[in-house]
Structure 1
């Protein structure tokens, strides 16, 4: 397991804060161990959570031309037909994955192809499962296309998230399972697929980015 580059700054800050609080509590609270030890324990848990959040586990990916893999770790919370107003402007099959603060937050390309559309939208920070989060929250819209399919991905920031990172631009050639982005501290990723796509997941199912099959064309 590695640590993601997006976390280096936060891990450094968390380590410095933990070191400072450890020193201060040890220096001034030695006579109150009932207070010193809980403070140090809580600080350790927060430091460990930051390390855990930015983990980048080693995974063995399998590629498939007709297979759409999960772009993120998390739980499937939406599978429904809906109107997609930004790019396709027609009905699509939406599959949404909610990423809790405990999930790996790397976002991976579900298919190989070319980035046909890319746009960043600043916005609010409603909870990720709010009905208006997909249209009002900070988000990106990314469309990948190849000779078999064209799908839209939407990174949506949640109530705790304050930064969406993306590493692609329009015209880029991308490969299945490569990183296209990262969202810090809780979020959601939506997939918009062609109507008639065979979905291989169910609502409530826990998926892993790059490993779990979402659908087949």
Structure 2
């Protein structure tokens, strides 16, 4: 690794959506530190964590339509058949669902699992249950995107968690989106579900750690060959 790469990796960009929170933590640290010095150091650690939470590192994404990549950093919490949220109006019945759980130390920038056109985006208010619970898919606040990909309809759903209180989505219905392209963010602990059509072969297992835009979750047919990549 070159010196330039080392320096670049040491200073990971931070999403601008995190600036107000980082500033608030920093100001609180100064004010509380004026009353009692240990509060300043505690606040400084929390400010550093806040900046770390809103990090937005570059990722190297497989540029191959056969692959489905993870939309989020975190742990694969479930894999199996499930019915997509009703508001997405998908008539396929059960689809293959892969869930990625993000804790408060995960990078929370979400990326498109496939290339295609976004045909529908639906937001639904709801509860803030532990995102690891299966019923969080149907009861928690969520935002779903339907993507018409080269291999059929794929849905990706951002789900608020126990601590999360805001789902951000920068994409719009009608947009073309590339695999691994950033489309949203969930603040402070959450989960993302990917719904895949029949014909997709799952390539991950429950408990595995996933990296957004890089980890291959599933494959659509064909022999496995080294894919091309792009940095996004």
Instruction: Give the Cα–Cα distance (whole angstroms) in 2 for the partners of residues 95 and 55 of structure 1.
Output: 24
Q: TM-score, normalised by structure 1?
A: 0.90
Shift, 1:169, TM fit: 1.7
Corresponding position: 1:97 with 2:108: no
Corresponding position: 1:193 with 2:193: no
Q: Deviations over 1:31-66 (max 9, x none)?
A: xxxxx43x3332222111111101112323331111
Q: Which residue matches 1:31?
A: none
Contact 2:129 2:161 in 1 (8 A): yes
Partner SS, residue 83 of structure 2: strand
Q: Which residue matches 1:204?
A: 207
Q: Structure 1 stretch 180-189 or stretch 76-85: which is displaced more?
A: 76-85
Corresponding position: 1:139 with 2:142: yes
- Aligned positions, number: 206
Show the 5 A alignment for 1:93-172.
Answer: 93-172=96-175
Corresponding position: 1:213 with 2:216: yes
Instruction: Give the Cα–Cα distance (whole angstroms) in 2 for the partners of residues 108 and 144 of structure 1.
Output: 12
Instruction: Give the Cα–Cα distance (whole angstroms) in 2 for the partners of residues 65 and 132 of structure 1.
Output: 31
- Where has structure 1 moved over 6 Å in runs of 4 or more? none
Q: Which residue matches 2:17?
A: 6
Shift, 1:111, TM fit: 1.0
**Rg (Cα) greater in structure:** 1
Partner SS, residue 55 of structure 1: coil
Instruction: Give the Cα–Cα distance (whole angstroms) in 2 for the partners of residues 170 and 59 of structure 1.
Output: 24
Q: Deviations over 1:67-112 (max 9, x none)?
A: 1110000000110112235232301011000000000000001111
Corresponding position: 1:20 with 2:20: no
Contact 1:81 1:195 in 2 (8 A): no
RMSD (CA atoms) = 1.3
Contact 1:121 1:139 in 2 (8 A): yes
Provide structure 1 residue ranges, at least 5 long, that are not aligned to the other structure: 26-35
Contact 1:91 1:195 in 2 (8 A): no
Contact 2:26 2:43 in 1 (8 A): no
Instruction: Give the Cα–Cα distance (whole angstroms) in 2 for the partners of residues 167 and 181 of structure 1.
Output: 5
Instruction: Give the Cα–Cα distance (whole angstroms) in 2 for the partners of residues 45 and 6 of structure 1.
Output: 20
Partner SS, residue 171 of structure 2: coil
Cα 1:103–1:67 change in 2 (3 A) is same
Shift, 1:166, TM fit: 0.3
Q: TM-score, normalised by structure 2?
A: 0.85
Provide structure 2 residue ranges, at least 5 long, that are not aligned to the other structure: 1-11, 221-232
